[in-house]
Amino acid sequence: MENTPLHPPARRPTIHVMLTPEFHAYFMRLAMREAAKAAEAEEVPAGCVIVQKPQSPGIPLAAVKVLARAHNQTELLNDSTAHAEMIALTQASSALGDWRLTGTILYVTKEPCPMCAGAIVLARIPLVVWGVSDPKRGGHSVFSILNHPNLNHRPEILTGVLEPECRTMLQEFFRARREEN
């Protein structure tokens, strides 16, 4: 006879805090500041911020813990993996002392590439927010990495946050690069 409990083990309740569009826009602006740093360094202007998800509604934005801020540094470091998201994932893991980044939100100005999308899945980030999608090379738009049914984690996705501003930043960067050449 199987030894099964009469009652299933109690689950910890999931705390769902409704985050407003203003909340997401605030942290996307922080990511945009990082993207501006990348552009100043002649890197593709992508910026990323990872925050700890608030546990209660109405928490002041200034009280939300920012775990990581990063921008693209592939040219500076001569490293093809030095994307804003990869650097931010390392910083956030260090800040939390854990590679599992449950209870966090990742903000990035541009849709993650396949490499970054894979790392986001492995880090177990529950919510990924980006400004502008990349329908030609995006890890989600093209390859569906963030919601692939064979992967063990599928984050929620919120797109289009401050999209016009993020798109303009990228377009201006690439327009200037074409004019230089």
Catalytically active residues, by annotation: 85
How far apart are the C-alpha atoms of 127 and 143, rounded to whole Å?
18
Q: Specify the amino acid at residue 109.
A: T
Q: Which of 138, 157, 137 is nearest to 147 (CA)?
A: 157
3-state secondary structure labels for all residues of the chain: CCCCCCCCCCCCCCCCCCCCHHHHHHHHHHHHHHHHHHHHCCCCCCEEEEEECCCCCCCCHHHCCEEEEEECCHHHHCCCCCCHHHHHHHHHHHHHCCCCCCCEEEEEEECCCHHHHHHHHHHCCCEEEEEECCCCCCCCCCCCHHHCCCCCCCCEEEECCCHHHHHHHHHHHHHHHHHHC
